[in-house]
Amino acid sequence: REQAQRCLEEILFGQSELSDKDEEFLQYLTTCDLNKLAREPEVLRTELDVVEKEMRESVVRDYKSFIQASQCIHNLHSSMDNLANSLKGLTASLSPLPNSCNKFTATATPLKVDREKNKLTRDKHEKMVELLKVPQLMEKRVKKGSYEEVLQLQQFSKQLLKKHPKIPIISSIVRCSCSQNTR
């Protein structure tokens, strides 16, 4: 009773903020006459009894659902704990992965470069064999007396050297072909 009186005083003197429902109920109370206000506590008790009875019936009727919901929540918490532990383990297992990947990349990069060189060599194999045969071809042409063809091959070799001066094998071919031509 004292608590209700303090609550009413706070509401009446504006020391407490009211929710929309409280505001609505207060408006209702101010429109009631004295007899209706006197009966209001009994009406509220009756409503409370009805609501409590409905709650008890609901609990009895839906008891299995409440138990199942409780078990579901418990299982969910257990599953979440297991998941959290699994994630911790996974994180611990994966922590050295970036370092290992970096080491792999460092090791694989030179291999990739070598592979590309080998692929290029394979793709250009026939042309390289033809280039390597230029000195022999020039020697055969000299022996046959086909000097015009020899000069064409020598010119081809020099043009090739101009295009690719940093490739040692081409320099070697040109030197070899020039030395054979001067014999």
Q: Where are the domains of the chain?
A: 2-61, 133-182
d(CA 43, CA 49): 10
Mean pLDDT over all residues of the chain? Answer: 85
Q: 17-61, pLDDT tens digit by residue?
A: 667 777 787 778 778 888 887 888 898 899 999 999 999 998 888
Q: Are 149 and 141 in contact (CB under 8 A)?
A: yes
DSSP label at 16? S
Copy the structure tokens of residue 91: 């994180």
- Nearest 5°: phi and psi at 106? -65, -35
Name the pTM for this structure. 0.39
